[in-house]
Structures are given as C-alpha cells and as structure tokens.
C-alpha cells in the first residue's frame, strides 16, 4: 500500500512535468521521447540483471496485446485533451478502476469486490468528482468526441491491467512486461505525433529537458514497480488506489505552478481515503 501511494505521488507530479515542457515539446512528442529512452533504460537494466529478452514463456501474444493497449491509451489521452477540458478528462479516465473491477469478475474469479468494497470505490470516485467538479453535458460535438476518447483510454488502461494479471505476463519479470509496452508505445505515439503535425521548433529549455528527464528516469521506470504489484496483489484493489494520482497532481500544480485549490479539495481527499479504507478492509 505504501509503495502504491508513492507511485501515485510520482505520477501526480508527472502531470506538472508535462505542463512544464509542453511549450517547447508537444505532448505526443514528449511521450515518444520518454518511452523510447525508457525502452533503452529497461533493456540496459535487464542486461545488467541477466534477464532473458527472448524465451519460450508464452508472453509474446499477451505482451503484444498489452503493448498495443498501452500505446493506444496514451494516444487517446494526449489527443483527447485537445477536444475536452482537463477536469472532464480526469473524471472519464478514472473510470478505469470500475472497468478493472467489472472485468475481474469475468477473467479473475478470485478478485471480486463485495458490496462494501463497491461502496468504497464509489466513495473514492465521489471524492474525485468533488475535487474536479461534475461534468456538465457536452454541448460541442468535439467535446463529446474528447470525452469518448477518454473513456476509451480508461478502458484500454483497465484492459492492460487485466491482460497482465490473467496471462503469462503475471509469471515473468515486471521488466519484461514493461518492455513489451514501452517498445510498442514508441511507434504508436511517434507516428501519432507525425500524423498530427507535432514539431519541435527550437532548442528545448533547461526546464523542458529537466521535465523530460523526470518523465524518463522516474515515471517510466516506476511502471516496473507497478507491474510487480499487479502480479502479486489484487488488480481491483490496486486500481482503486489510482484515484490518488489526480489529487496528487492537483497538489503538485498548487505547489509548483501556483494553481488554485478548490474549496472542497480537503474533503475530496478525505472521501478518497475513506473509500480506499473500505476497499482494503479485511473480509
């Protein structure tokens, strides 16, 4: 639980890192750079540890599926943000824990929520709504498209978690699981950046380079720890913890970018925490 909270904290600060670099490096280009460099780092780490890159372990097909879903998720998020607001995007993306819990009923029979855990999940989501505001009905067709892209990204995120948990990927090193996803994400978001006309028009600033360094050296590598947790613990309970990530992102925006906190932010944190307690109570 402590490690999961730490990961959510680091991912929350990643939102600020993206904003700090976006003036010099477009978003999909940032994602392509960090995943390409992250791939090289994971390859070097696996070589250092003597972990096999090629083995008859049954991971090729689920690895390719997880990698495609991983790349699709980021492509949908970064492009969808052009059509919908950040607050609406957060709420729709974090439908993912619900998708994981629902999917687990069919592919992970031993990982089912009871009524109290469902109540905790809904309570945590209510905290998210309080922090970001309930989305009003979309009035612009482009905004509706952006919202649907975020829902699809949430489904891709949830499907990635379930594929890892229910396949041979749960029995190999988390480094190999991450490698599949990073390696396939690079061409997906790279081609997306080219297709949508993203360009770096000048030399990135020191701040932008530092932001890319954080995204590469910290955020990309944290997925090793995340996939190790997914292999060992309940996917449904772990997914519920991700509600903390956007709250940490709001806090990071306040501390680093001086963005205002909503009046109900403290109550939102309490609701999310209370929901997580219900989700993780011993049965």
Q: What is the pLDDT of residue 45?
A: 92
Q: Indicate the pLDDT class of residue 283, thresholds 50, 70 and 90.
A: low
Residues 6+ apart with CB under 8 A from 44: none
Mean confidence (pLDDT) of the chain: 88
CA dist 237 and 11 (Å) reads 18
**pLDDT tops 80 at residue 164:** yes
Average pLDDT over residues 242-266: 83
Residues 6+ apart with CB under 8 A from 209: none
Say how many C-beta atoms besides its own lie within 10 A of residue 105's C-beta.
12
pLDDT tens digits for 85-114? 777 888 888 899 999 999 998 888 888 888
Say how many C-beta atoms besides its own lie within 10 A of residue 124's C-beta.
27
Q: What is the pLDDT of residue 12?
A: 85
CB-CB contact of 276 with 117 (8 Å): no
Q: What is the pLDDT of residue 138?
A: 65
Q: What is the pLDDT of residue 139?
A: 67
pLDDT tens digits for 180-233? 999 999 999 999 999 988 888 888 999 999 999 998 999 888 999 999 999 899
Reading phi first (left if > 0) and then psi (alpha if -120 to 50, else beta), residue 50 is in left
pLDDT tens digits for 137-152? 766 778 888 889 989 9
């Amino acid at each position: 639980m402590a490690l999961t909270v730490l990961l959510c904290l680091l991912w929350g600060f990643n939102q600020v890192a993206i904003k700090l670099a976006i003036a010099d490096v477009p978003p999909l280009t940032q994602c392509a750079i960090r995943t390409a460099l992250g791939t090289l780092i994971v390859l070097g780490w696996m070589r250092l540890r003597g972990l096999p890159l090629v083995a008859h372990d049954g991971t090729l097909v689920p690895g390719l599926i997880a990698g495609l879903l991983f790349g699709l998720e980021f492509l949908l998020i970064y492009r969808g943000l052009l059509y919908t607001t950040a607050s609406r995007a957060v709420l729709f993306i974090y439908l993912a824990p619900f998708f994981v819990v629902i999917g687990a009923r069919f592919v992970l029979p031993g990982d089912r929520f009871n009524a109290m855990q469902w109540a905790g999940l809904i309570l945590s989501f209510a905290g998210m709504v309080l922090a970001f505001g309930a989305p009003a009905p979309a009035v612009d067709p482009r905004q509706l498209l952006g919202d649907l892209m975020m829902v699809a990204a949430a489904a891709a995120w949830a499907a990635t978690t379930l594929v890892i948990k229910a396949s041979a990927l749960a029995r190999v090193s988390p480094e190999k699981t991450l490698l599949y996803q990073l390696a396939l994400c690079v061409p997906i978001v790279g081609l997306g950046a080219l297709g949508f006309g993203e360009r770096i028009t000048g030399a990135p600033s020191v701040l932008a380079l530092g932001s890319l360094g954080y995204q590469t050296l910290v955020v990309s590598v944290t997925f090793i720890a995340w996939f190790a947790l997914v292999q060992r613990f309940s996917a449904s309970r772990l997914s519920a913890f991700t509600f903390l990530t956007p709250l940490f992102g709001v806090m990071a925006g306040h501390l680093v970018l001086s963005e205002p906190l909503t009046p109900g932010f403290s109550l939102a944190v309490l609701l999310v925490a209370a929901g997580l307690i219900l989700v993780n109570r011993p049965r």
